[in-house]
Every structure is written in C-alpha cells, then in structure tokens.
Amino acid sequence: MHDQLIELGFARKEASVYLALLEFGTQTASVIARRVGMPRPTVLYLFKGLLAKGYVRKTQRGRTQYFHADPAYLKQAKQAELQKQEKGLEQMIPLLEEFKTPFSSAPKLQFFEGLENCQKAYMMLSESQTDVYEFAAHDDLLKMGEQFMEDFIAARVKNEVLIRAICRQTDVHEFYVGKDKDQKRELKMFDPDFGGLYSSIAVFENKVLLLNLYSDAFAIMIESHEVAETLKTIHRLVGRSL
C-alpha cells in the first residue's frame, strides 16, 4: 500500500502517516506520531499538507485537533485534481501548438548492429520510392558479401530505384562504372588525394542511412525531412564539381 500511495503522488512520510491514520481512525497528531515514530511537529506539518490537498480532514474538540482519513476523501480529491489538470491541458495545448515552430520535426532514429542487421538496413534502399543519393564506400560494402550485393542490385533494378553515388576512385568503383546503365546507377568519382570515405551515407525518401563497415558493423537510420533534404542538397553541390 505504501508504494501505491507514492505512485499516486504521496511523499514517503505522507504515506506513512496517512496509512496510520486509516488504521487507527480519528486521532490526534501526538497519537499518530507515536505510531509512526516521528516527532509531533513533523506529523502536524505532514497533516497540514494532506489537509490542503483534501486527502484528510480535521475536527476540533476544545483545544485539541483530531484528524480523520477516509479513502472516499482521497478519491474525491484526486478526481478534482485530474479534472483541473485536464482543463489546464486543454487550454495549454493550443498555446503550445502556436509556440511550436512549423519548420521542424522530431527525427526518428533506428540503430543496427552486426553485419546481418546492416544488410537488412541497406536492403531498404532497394524499396525506396525515390532516387537514392549516396556517398558510397563500395569497397567496404562488399564486406556484406558478393551474393548479398548481387541480390541487392537485382532488387533495386527490379523496383526501378536509381542510385546516384559519389565515391572515391578505386578499382572497385571503376568496375561498377562500366555497369551503371544496366544496374540503374549514376556513379561519380573523386580523386583519392581528396581523402577517403570510411562510411556510406545514403539519402532516400525522408531518411538518411549511415552505414559503417570499415572496422565495426553498425548503421544508423535517421528519419527526418530536414536532415534528408540538407544532405541531398550537399550531394547535388558536390556532384556538380565532379
């Protein structure tokens, strides 16, 4: 019972004195203080807070105060709190919607670990409803297996998904260039002296897939219109110079 009251918003000591009051009936603060092993001033302070919330009630007999608890008081008070919160929420939500900027959306993230999960993530490109813009490290992509890459290309071609790839000039990419037309791919290469690509970044629909197979096998999928459009723009700008 103690933990359930805490879940309802009671402080730990509040729950203790409340349960004691329920158990022993209408009592003074002194009696409850002895029952729970707390100083009387502490119990009075706790009762004051419970009274303000409507969870307990008190009566006066002469100069002595008596406190009384009933589950019905708690139910009534909690229902009133919920009604007040619901009303406040209804008033606040429209204001918060106006305050929220219309130019952003919360990105959704997915994490993939291990080679098999990276394969599943990369295979999503073959079902894209848009062209794929990729900064490609195909040398590392081959680590997913020759058969996988053949299946991926076949699925992508079947679904007529064009991939526009920018990559470092290597023997692997030189080989792929000769098959661009048949494999629905536009490959542009940059001089190796510019640096290397150790991870592949593929942009499609409103998603961005970051795939790393260089030393570890992991991938991160970001679902965000703004991030995807930004990287597509960067891809176009880089492509123009190649």
Q: Which of 52-61, 123-132, 172-181, 232-241 has the lowest mean pLDDT?
A: 172-181
Report the CATH fold assignment for 108-240.
Answer: Endonuclease; Chain A (3.30.870)
Task: Look at domain 2-97 and name its CATH class.
Answer: mainly alpha
Q: Are 200 and 175 in contact (CB under 8 A)?
A: no
What is the average pLDDT across 170-192? Answer: 81
Tokens of 196: 């290397």
The share of the chain scoring above pLDDT 90, in percent, equals 64
Q: Check pLDDT > 70 for residue 117.
A: yes
Q: Check pLDDT > 80 for residue 109.
A: yes
Measured distance CA(32)–CA(19) in Å, rounded:
10
> What is the chain's mean pLDDT, rounded?
90
- In the chain, domain spans: 2-97, 108-240
Q: Check pLDDT > 70 for residue 104.
A: no
Measured distance CA(211)–CA(216) in Å, rounded:
10
